[in-house]
Structure 1
Amino acid sequence: MRVSLVLLCVVVIAGASNAAAQGFGVTGLLPFTDKCASCHVNPEPGSRAPARAQLQGRAPEAIFSAITTGSMAPMASGLTEAQMRAIAEYVSGRSFGTATAGPASTMKNQCAAKPLGNPLDGPGWNGWGADKSNTRFQPAAAAGLTAATVPTLTLKWAFGFPEGRQAFGQPTVMGGRIYVGSDNGFVYSLDAASGCVYWSYQAKAAVRTAITVAPVKTGGSRFAVFFGDVRANVYAIDAESAALLWSKHADPHPVARITGAPAFHDGRLYVPVSSIEEALGGNPAYPCCSFRGSVIAYDASTGEQRWQSFTISEAAVPMRKTSTGTQLWGPAGAAVWSAPTIDPVRGRIYLSTSNGYTYPAVNTTDAVMALDLASGKRLWTRQLTPNDAYVIGCGPNAKSETCPQETGPDFAVGTSPILRTLAGGRRILAVGQKSGLAWGLNPDDGSVVWQHRVGQGTALGGIEWGGAADDRLVYYPNADGLLGMKAAGGLAAIRLATGEREWWAPPIATCPDQTMKCIPAQSAAASLIPGVVFSGATDGMMRAYSAADGKVLWEFATARDFETVNGIKARGGSINGPGATIVNGMVFTNSGYGSFGQMAGNVLLAFGVQ
């Protein structure tokens, strides 16, 4: 504890000198030290709180937004507006009004006017999983690539996200156009072939969901672009003009957010709701915890809510108070990180849930659930890890009274379930978990068919964002390594019918010292075409593996500077969260996932064959 306090003082004093030199003084330092330093100065491994160094360079407007109406608003309680503005300038190292342009209208590479055709015609990658079953599999005709041509992939263009420090929005490709969100709050429509920009739309907060394109019947609009932001707002905008059709606030909880892509089926939009409350729960002053995950069904054309199904049946109630008077609540947790999976055959929707935030954790945490598509009624639940109550800052030596009485391993299920039909007609629901286990479930009743260990698993390890599957194998990358384990990364091919391993591609170390910023953990979702699996790593490497035996067919190092088509200074970094999207002979990937001490960046890369 004494060492920690000394380090904190050193960092704070250094920060004061640096801030004063830049003209921002100690005005922001003092409230930062009081309200923010405990999480943002030397954050513990696995913390979702970015270090101050990671926030430097961000627009102060973005930081001010986060602490006034965003995820950090509860922690800024009691501060004046002047103090919050001072914190924003101190943390960013910049003054208000210095942000570079984000709108498409200011970019040098605007596309010539071109009417939008039917984006659903021809090859595309829509939403998170490319199809309603979330297989992340692109058939040969739509992929336009083969195992023979993938080794000739070269960089065709790069697009820089203005003011970006996190590249985490998976690109959707439909009708020859890309739709992609950014951490600056802008959604962009680009030409897939050249990277020129058609339009931009500014949301109220960062957009990290993949984007779903679907038909609508409203006004003169034919097709809409659907997405969510990190303040739990849901949007429908015109796919051609970017005009807002409707917007809804999905959840009133102050730290609710949307990270999973909306799923569209038969005129309805199904939106998963997550939160960042577990990042606050260990703070002695925070009234932990009251959020519960859900899926909401909207009429896609009007935004009218049809139903909301909570992952925890009962709302949180007061549980106990700490010795300092902080009211604690429960039950809470079971957030839905990822895109739900649609089963039109059974009229169901499948979803996965995170850990609980309070003890004891309810039986719908770390679980896979099936709901009725029409009503949202819960049909079955399969819990994969019981009683996993976890919030950040509550490790074995935690002193905060707001921590759960017993802390679990944080083995959330953050992957979208993959629904596949096998030879003979048997169906399987494959899902990966941060425990390192891959599971095969019977979609009819949720019973376990098989389980297979891919990795050791930790709070940041195991299977983080998901795999991809054809009609015989499911491919899961291994995220182990981000919390100091010697083994990091790797890719497993597992037989869907039995859960047996087909092959294992070991991790490929690119950094001899294995620092936190350069570890070959494969956290990002895998993507698949016939004969080839694409998997990115937190060291910035994007690789294509043979689906037959796991041999590397192609690789590209993204953690570097890029010249961009829109003239924005851009750099790649870690690849995490979303995976590659493959359409019509091209591969698209973001690079620069800066959370958890990884390498930040702000670039979208497009590859094509020579």
Structure 2
Amino acid sequence: MRSLAITLLVSTPLLAVAQAPPPSPAELRVEQNLCAASAPLSDSSPQRWNGWGPTVTNTRFQPAEAGGLTVADVPRLRLKWAYGLPREQQPRGQPAVIGGRMFVGSQAGAVYALDAKTGCTIWQFFPRAGLRSATSVGPHRFADGRNGYAVYFVDAQGHAYAVDADSGEQIWMTRVEDHPMVRGTGAVTLYDGTVFVPMTGISEAMGGANPEYECCTFRGSMTALDAATGAVKWKTYTIPESKRRGTSSAGKPLYGPAGVGIWNAPTVDAARGVIYSGTGPAYAGDDPPTTDAVIAFDMKTGEIVWTNQFTKDTWLMGCDGNAATNPNCPKSNGPDLDFSASPILTKSSAGRDVIVIPQKSGMVYALDPAERGKTLWSYRAGPGSPVGGVWGSAVEGDRMYVAVGGYRNEETGGIHAIDIDTGERIWYTPPQPLLCSPPGPACSQTQAAAVTAIPGAVFSGSADGGLRAYDARDGKIIWTFDANREFETINGVPARGASFSGPGPVVVGGMMYVLSGDAGFVGRPGNVLLAFAPE
């Protein structure tokens, strides 16, 4: 049944691009500006950004000791070097930087280890599929008895990896999910010898465009792997097993429930022994109670401890206005309001733990982890949109910084500062004049890219190709960089900047790194990694 589904889906316009042959390792290999030598990786310095976060609480706040940048430095930021990602069109593999070394993945199908200061290439690794997420780095004891470090990540087809951080040699690989419509989108989280791997299946949601598809069987999941061996410790699905639920008017079997994928990197709550993640819509079945929800998983067993659902949501792409002729379509399609951003675990001014998270609906929520995720407050940051979403917010102290994503509305863009205690607005800066042209879906003010904060400043990228820094006190713009151009690269690969979406800036060791060209569904593609430092 599943192999037939793939054959049918390949013929649809929605998947024609996705099914094109991937680039070969030879096409992805960088040949220029290779590092002459590299010392073994050391984790002795506090200057690091490890994983999505840069820590496992996913605040996306980088303190001064690790970031090495002050708000006074921000207006003096200048491009230091640019690195072209071969054959890339949507760079989403947010860099990790640790011990002076950077690890960055490409959706085209490669992982590159670079010298974080100079950008020379140390090694290159070619997984079975491309990366849509960040990597994490941690200590590893090798089979020969030596101690070193491994780089952990998941590719888009559901393979998780550990790779030697010094040589780029594969240590292990585990197939976390074998459904043909799997899509590894959220970054792994490494904690206490365990690699937590979220999984979604957006490819199956595209089956809504094809009435011949036997819809639907993919289930979102969270898997815990032993960091040393890659062995599965546990795997928990977000919904029950899919079962036959009838036959469509086209004579095809129908299955469900399906969907409820996890798009984001899990967040660790060490005190409670749980991890948190947000989910997306179902693809089939009767609105499971886990759609568009924040879920707490027991770190040791994978048991679902609690769920807070914000939207009942069953959605298939291609079903809007098409339900009468497509038997796969749900009775009411959507509203398609995933949580694409990771939950943030932080503290109130009184020292109480709080979870904050933005939703694609344009809403922002605060939850009480001590009360099974009880909602504390809600805040509307924007009108919301089924296209775009918000990939990440940032928290510094008692403030949360939320950019406004979404393409199908006229109120997209801008950034809010919200009081974590009360859910009230502190300041709001509206979207800025477009840096691209002509205006339209591909040239938009939407700010769906993940936000990053340092003491006194907040960074947010826009689909218009602008990366902007805001004063954390009042939201005034203190720095702007226009990425809409071609770049001369240090590795000789032709590169162009364009939209910012998905991954956000990484600040570490007195430098800032950011990928430009994540077009999302409707933006403008590019393929460049940019490195900035104060002049």
> How does the TM-score come out when normalised to structure 2?
0.94
Residue 174, structure 1, aligned to residue 84, structure 2: no
Task: Report 1:312-323 matches (<5 A).
Answer: 312=239, 314-323=240-249
Residue 63, structure 1, aligned to residue 20, structure 2: yes
Task: Report 1:270-309 matches (<5 A).
Answer: 270-276=196-202, 277-309=204-236
Equivalent pairs, count:
523
Larger fraction in helix: 1
The one-letter amino acid of 1:460's match is V
Contact kept in structure 2, 1:281 and 1:289, CA below 8 Å = no
CA distance in 1, matches of 2:41, 2:198: 29
By how many angstroms is 1:497 displaced?
Answer: 0.9
Task: Report 1:63-142 matches (<5 A).
Answer: 63-64=20-21, 101-104=27-30, 107-119=31-43, 121-142=45-66
- SS of the aligned residue for 1:280 comes to helix
By how many angstroms is 1:133 displaced?
Answer: 0.4
The one-letter amino acid of 2:464's match is D
Residue 496, structure 1, aligned to residue 453, structure 2: no
- Of residues 534, 547, 556, the one that matches 2:459 is 534
Partner of 2:514: 589
By how many angstroms is 1:377 displaced?
Answer: 1.0
- SS of the aligned residue for 2:341 comes to coil
Q: Deviations along 1:137-178, whole A, 9 cap, x unmatched?
A: 000121111111100100000000111111111011111111
Partner of 1:58: none
- SS of the aligned residue for 1:204 comes to coil
In structure 2, stretches of 5+ residues that fail to align are 1-6
By how many angstroms is 1:450 displaced?
Answer: 0.3
By how many angstroms is 1:289 displaced?
Answer: 1.0
- SS of the aligned residue for 1:256 comes to coil
Residue 455, structure 1, aligned to residue 382, structure 2: yes
Partner of 1:151: 75
Contact kept in structure 1, 2:499 and 2:519, CA below 8 Å = yes
Moved segments of 4+, more than 4 Å:
33-38
CA distance in 2, matches of 1:422, 1:362: 32
Q: Deviations along 1:75-105, whole A, 9 cap, x unmatched?
A: xxxxxxxxxxxxxxxxxxxxx98x963224x
Q: Deviations along 1:160-212, whole A, 9 cap, x unmatched?
A: 01111111110111111110000221100011111100000000111111000
CA distance in 2, matches of 1:331, 1:565: 49
- Of residues 431, 438, 444, the one that matches 1:507 is 431
- SS of the aligned residue for 1:126 comes to coil
Partner of 1:194: 118
By how many angstroms is 1:354 displaced?
Answer: 0.6
Task: Report 1:327-338 matches (<5 A).
Answer: 327-338=253-264
CA distance in 1, matches of 2:272, 2:166: 34
- Of residues 309, 325, 332, the one that matches 1:406 is 332
By how many angstroms is 1:36 displaced?
Answer: 5.3
Partner of 1:552: 477
Task: Report 1:408-487 matches (<5 A).
Answer: 408-444=334-370, 445-461=372-388, 463-480=389-406, 482-483=407-408, 485-487=409-411
By how many angstroms is 1:513 displaced?
Answer: 4.6
Partner of 1:575: 500
The one-letter amino acid of 2:222's match is V
Partner of 1:9: none
The higher radius of gyration belongs to 1
Larger fraction in strand: 2
The one-letter amino acid of 1:286's match is Y
CA distance in 1, matches of 2:269, 2:8: 50
- SS of the aligned residue for 2:13 comes to helix
The one-letter amino acid of 2:484's match is A
- SS of the aligned residue for 2:515 comes to strand
Partner of 2:491: 566
Partner of 1:396: 321
What root-mean-square deviation, in Å, do the aligned CA atoms of Structure 1 and Structure 2 show?
1.8
Q: Deviations along 1:202-224, whole A, 9 cap, x unmatched?
A: 00111111000011223235110
- SS of the aligned residue for 1:370 comes to strand
By how many angstroms is 1:128 displaced?
Answer: 0.3
Contact kept in structure 1, 2:345 and 2:353, CA below 8 Å = yes
CA distance in 1, matches of 2:194, 2:528: 32
Contact kept in structure 2, 1:199 and 1:241, CA below 8 Å = yes
The one-letter amino acid of 1:564's match is T
Residue 246, structure 1, aligned to residue 220, structure 2: no
CA distance in 2, matches of 1:345, 1:332: 32
Contact kept in structure 2, 1:221 and 1:238, CA below 8 Å = no
CA distance in 1, matches of 2:211, 2:322: 14
Q: Deviations along 1:454-483, whole A, 9 cap, x unmatched?
A: 01011024x521200012011111003x12
By how many angstroms is 1:422 displaced?
Answer: 2.2
Task: Report 1:339-350 matches (<5 A).
Answer: 339-350=265-276
Partner of 1:162: 86
By how many angstroms is 1:64 displaced?
Answer: 2.5
CA distance in 2, matches of 1:231, 1:426: 39
By how many angstroms is 1:512 displaced?
Answer: 6.7
The share of aligned pairs that are identical, in percent, is: 42
Contact kept in structure 1, 2:41 and 2:149, CA below 8 Å = no
Say which is worse superposed, 237-246 or 270-279, in terms of deviation: 270-279
Q: Deviations along 1:532-570, whole A, 9 cap, x unmatched?
A: 110001111111111111111101111210000000011
Residue 356, structure 1, aligned to residue 356, structure 2: no
Partner of 1:23: none
CA distance in 1, matches of 2:120, 2:27: 16
Contact kept in structure 1, 2:140 and 2:149, CA below 8 Å = yes
The one-letter amino acid of 2:400's match is V
Partner of 2:237: 310
Contact kept in structure 2, 1:100 and 1:163, CA below 8 Å = no
Residue 217, structure 1, aligned to residue 191, structure 2: no
CA distance in 1, matches of 2:488, 2:147: 36
CA distance in 2, matches of 1:232, 1:138: 30
By how many angstroms is 1:396 displaced?
Answer: 2.9
Q: Deviations along 1:415-439, whole A, 9 cap, x unmatched?
A: 1000002232211100110010000
- SS of the aligned residue for 1:595 comes to coil
